[in-house]
Amino acid sequence: MRCQDSRRYLNPYMDSELDAKTCTDITNHLAVCEACSKRFAQEQEIEKRLVKRLQREKMPDESWEVILERLNAYDSPGRRRVRLAWLVPAAVVPVVTAVLMLFFLWGKAPDNTNSWSATLQEMHGKYLKQEISISPGLSWPQEFQGLTVLEHLPQSGVIGGHDVQLLGGRPFYAKDIHGAHIVYTCCNTPASMFILRKEDMRDLKRAQRLLDKGKGFAVVDLGNMRLSMIDLKEVVVCCISSHETNTLLTAFSRT
Amino acid sequence: MQESHFDRKKEFVALLSAHRDSLYRFCLHVIWDKNSAEDVLQEAILSAYKNFGHFQPGTNFKAWMFSFLINKIFDSNKRFKKEFQQVNSSQGLDIVEHLEKEEAYISILENPSVFFERMDARIKSALLALKPTERMVFLLRSVEGFTYKEIAQFLDLPIGTVMSHLSRSRARLRELLVDYARETGFVR
């Protein structure tokens, strides 16, 4: 076996995934070729150190406790009784719902705008209740790197007369929505900015209509909060806050 | 009745506790956001528990749990699944051939201890820079020790495609380490 041939099998050799014959051929080659033998050992050492670093992560005890609590709750006698008691209505409800949906929505495209705005509102609420943490480091997985807006976020300072502080961000995955959640304070009021890809908003007919009607800008009243949206080239930036954040939102279009 | 539920849960928790760190770090390294990762992991564990009656005692519990976890990760983020479906099975990068003439990489190979001591914080950034497909396959094989066949079953991919992803992810990781080594002046 030539050096070049043996090196092609480095991956499966390291992973002990070679057939017996090829493995013997390589082992024989390594026994007589010092250069290949050294290189294989070095690669294995690099792999070992990489893996050791990544295996350092442990599940926090409090997360384990939450899991045990959820298992206990699932198995609690009360819940089991409730599950049985609900079997009949549980079977009837989906059928009735399906019939009603067919009746009312026949021919209409589904619109998930309401559940989507509720999801964003829920995430902002979780941040306010400190149920989710925001990383100040702003590092994004590779799949977010297509979002160029993340590289040019409006930074802390005075923007249009508003005192803006950038606190941090995190990727989020919730109910088929996938994007970046960035938290600011605007005049000391928390504001959650959600950056969503346009392609993920295909089912959100109402949101799209509002943006079209407002020439790329829209506001939805959520009671004690406001959801404002701005349509940028590749993404839609949505803001949820109890403060007026149009200035901060439009700052995204200048990045 | 009460007794059997208690025994069932006890057995499940005993099996699960041996793999809690593996499941947690895999989920965290794939999804990256701690809150989302914990939500997905809890859902996967609950789902597995509901189906524990179907688990065959004596078979690989870790692999059985990972199949639930991977399904929940795909449910939580359709983009991951889409990327796997779109993947082509072209040959992955060959680590050795790709970095053969890279002097900087040779320096890392010669001094791995010093390099890893200095680059500790950058290892996770390098993992972050891989595509989800590459990241998942690398974590499943190198960090969690699953076989190519098991990974192919988890991800519903041909073994050849798993090998291509793995080869590419290892080469990319090493390439990124070289970049970091240059940035920090470890090598020129």
Same domain, B171 and B103: yes
Closest partner CB to B166 (pick from A11, A54, A178):
A11
Read off the tokens for B53. 């009656």
CA–CA dist A148, A197 (Å, integer): 11
pLDDT at B5 over 80: no
* Top-confidence residue, A128 or B139: B139
Domain limit, last residue, from B24, B46, B76: B76
> Does B36 fall in a domain?
yes
**Among candidates B9, B7, B167, which has minimal Cα distance to B94?**
B167
Please report, for residues A27, B22, B179, the alpha-carbon distance to residue B142 in angstroms, rounded to integers and kept in the order given.
21, 12, 22
Residue in A closest to B142 by C-alpha: A51
Closest partner CB to A178 (pick from B12, B77, B108):
B77
Residue with tokens 């995204």: A252
> Does B177 fall in a domain?
yes
Nearest chain A Cα distance for residue B58, angstroms: 22
Residue in A closest to B138 by C-alpha: A51
Give the pLDDT confidence score for residue A176 in this predicted structure: 66
Overall domain count for chain B: 2
Q: Where are the domains of chain A?
A: 3-54, 68-105, 113-253
Instruction: Check if the beta carbon of residue B102 is closer than 8 Å to that of residue A29.
Output: no
Beta bridge partners of A226: A221, A241
Task: pLDDT band for B115, please (50, 70, 90 cuts).
Answer: confident
Give the pLDDT confidence score for residue A78 in this predicted structure: 62
Give the pLDDT confidence score for residue B49 in this predicted structure: 95
Contacts 24+ apart (CB under 8 A), B42-50: B42/A66, B42/A67, B42/A70, B43/B72, B44/B68, B44/B69, B44/B71, B44/B72, B44/B73, B45/A67, B45/A70, B45/A71, B45/B16, B46/A70, B46/A71, B46/A74, B47/B71, B47/B72, B48/B12, B49/A71, B49/A74, B49/B9, B49/B12, B50/A74
> Does B188 fall in a domain?
no
Give the pLDDT confidence score for residue A83 in this predicted structure: 56
CA–CA dist B109, B99 (Å, integer): 11
Instruction: Check if the beta carbon of residue A216 is closer than 8 Å to that of residue A231.
Output: yes
Q: Using CB atoms and an 8 Å cut-off, which of residues 46-65 of chain A contact chain B?
A: 46-47, 49-51, 53-55, 57-59, 63-64
> Does B138 fall in a domain?
yes
ipTM value, please give it: 0.85
Taking an 8 Å cut-off on Cβ atoms, the answer to whether B79 and A178 are in contact is yes
* Top-confidence residue, B121 or B138: B138
CATH of the domain at B127: 1.10.10.10
Which residues of chain A are modeled with pLDDT < 50?
106-107, 109
Element (H, E) at A242: none
> Which residues make Cβ contacts (< 8 Å) with residue A234, sequence separation at least 6?
A146, A147, A148, A149, A197, A198
DSSP conformational letter for A47: H
Secondary structure class of A110 (helix, strand, coil): coil
Tens of pLDDT, residue by residue over A172-227, are 877 667 788 899 988 888 999 988 887 777 667 777 787 888 788 888 888 788 88
Closest partner CB to A50 (pick from B17, B45, B123):
B123
Give the pLDDT confidence score for residue A150 in this predicted structure: 80
Chain A residues within an 8 Å CB radius of B74: none
Chain B residues within an 8 Å CB radius of A7: 94, 96-97
Secondary structure class of A239 (helix, strand, coil): strand
Residue with tokens 């109402």: A206
Domain limit, last residue, from B76, B104, B125: B76
Its domain, for residue B160, covers 95-183
Tens of pLDDT, residue by residue over B41-63, are 999 999 999 999 999 988 999 99
> Does B57 fall in a domain?
yes
The counts of H helices and E strands in chain A are 10, 7
- What pTM, to 2 d.p., does this model score? 0.73
**Among candidates B12, B13, B10, B16, which has minimal Cα distance to B53?**
B12
CA–CA dist A141, B64 (Å, integer): 27
> Does B88 fall in a domain?
no
The phi and psi torsions of B18 (rounded to 5 degrees) equal -70, -20
Same domain, B143 and B64: no
Same domain, B45 and B101: no
- Looking at the domain A113-253, which fold is it? Protein Transport Mog1p; Chain A (3.40.1000)
> Which residues make Cβ contacts (< 8 Å) with residue A97, sequence separation at least 6?
none
Tens of pLDDT, residue by residue over B15-26, are 999 999 999 999
Closest partner CB to B95 (pick from A43, A66, A131):
A43
Instruction: Check if the beta carbon of residue A91 is closer than 8 Å to that of residue B67.
Output: no
Same domain, B38 and B102: no
CA–CA dist B125, B180 (Å, integer): 10
Chain A residues within an 8 Å CB radius of B52: none
Beta bridge partners of A190: A185
Same domain, B99 and B29: no
Give the pLDDT confidence score for residue B178 in this predicted structure: 85
